[in-house]
Amino acid sequence: MGIMDTYIVSHKDASWPLSVIGAITNLAGVIAGPLCQRYPTRPVMCCGAVAASAGMILSFWAQNIAQLTLSLGILYGFGCGVVFTGINVALSQHFDKYRAVAYGVVYAGSTMASFVFPNLLLALSLEYSFRNVLLIFGGIITNMFALALCIKEPSWTAARPSKTIEQKDSVKKATIREAFDIFRKPIFYVLLVSNIFFQYGFDAFMTTLVDFAVERGATLQQAVNLLPWFSAADVVGRGLFPIMADRGLIDRTKFIMTCYILTGVFTLLLPATNTYTELVLCILLMGSFCGCAAVMFLCVVSDIIGVSRFPLAIGTLGLTNGGFYFTKPFFFGYFCDVVQSYDGMFHMTGTLTLFVGLVWLCIIGSKRSRKHSFFLGTSSCCKFLKVLPVQDNRNQLPEVTVSAINLQHNDNLKAQSSHRIV
């Protein structure tokens, strides 16, 4: 509403900056990933923080939608994408045994922020103009630079013996060549497809939740209340469920398989709900497993691909998400304007998510039939699945300087949904 009132444009034109933010945030991974692969994480994140805060502050002087899209959509979105990629890489570097809990705590915090900042945005909008609000938020975002300075390079990458120029060049070439080996491994494309289908279903759900609830007979207030319900369940799924995986109660791959299957099932059940109570219950269950799947996916990627290859992998995942992002308005619009019902959309996205879970079930079943652990790095298992052997990178890769987007992209969708309601 602030964009429409300030620049006197239609809803369609006003949606451009927000749409570009989502796309560029994902696409930035293809640049941020290799940068984190080549340089330490801290300077990369500092550059991203500067770009994000500069984009928000420069939006104060934007005179039209084109300029706002350039500053807020492209510059701010790119900075956020770099920072989010750096966060994922830093977590994978510093945590091993409790990696799932670390991801869960960090991204549960970002989910909880969706309760605070929409209300702060509303309060500031009542006191200041839209441009001044952007300036204030730009000042808040500037604090990311100070926080990025606190990120330290792990000792296992920082403590390197001195080398000649020839040795350094040789190590650099070997490291880059080794990182690009992920594109020759079929399991990487399983991860790629899993991420695309899951994110597509999540985006469809968050974008249409309020309209779908009203379509099912809920009042507007009841429909709006579903957003905090889902966010609360999402926090539980991100913050508590990963503890079971890190304590060894369940294998991470089995956990993400279970989350995918149950998320798909509850998505398929959404059109079958007849009462508001059934809808709330379905959303609570879906939110908890959906949040857990989002966190566990990053852990599984790090486990399978390895910490040294993680930056390039997460950048590639962001690139594919950003590419498919541009198809989502047409996909959502088809069911809204042509079909005039979201039931078919949830049937489709639920089926895709369920399919991903069944694919992981087949992988786990194949692994079990060969009596090998999927993550022990045994040669026969790696040969069958062509998984990159996972080693202790702290001991094996002292020369390598290493440092999706999707989760935070998920949190942005929640905030954007709240903004539209406001």
pLDDT tens for the chain, residues 1 to 422 = 677 778 887 766 777 887 788 888 888 888 888 888 788 889 999 999 999 999 999 999 999 888 999 999 899 999 999 998 888 888 888 887 778 788 878 877 777 777 777 778 878 888 888 899 999 999 999 999 999 998 887 766 654 554 444 444 444 444 556 656 778 888 889 999 999 999 888 888 888 888 888 888 888 788 878 888 888 888 888 878 888 877 878 888 888 999 999 999 999 999 999 899 999 999 999 999 998 898 888 888 888 888 778 888 887 888 887 778 778 778 877 887 788 888 999 999 999 999 999 999 998 888 776 654 444 343 333 444 444 444 444 433 333 333 344 555 555 555 555 544 44
Q: What share of the chain is helix, strand, coil (3-state, %, to 5)?
A: 80, 0, 20
CA atoms of 195 and 388, how far apart (whole Å)? 19
Displacement of CA 89 from its chain's centroid (Å): 13
CA atoms of 126 and 365, how far apart (whole Å)? 57
- The domains located in the chain, with CATH, are 2-416 (1.20.1250.20)
Amino acid at 226: L
Max CA-CA distance within the chain? 71
Distances in whole angstroms, Cα of residue 305 to Cα of each of 3, 264, 382, 403: 42, 25, 12, 14
Burial label for 269, CB within 10 Å (0-12, 13-18, 19+), is middle
CA atoms within 13 A on the CB side of 173: 5
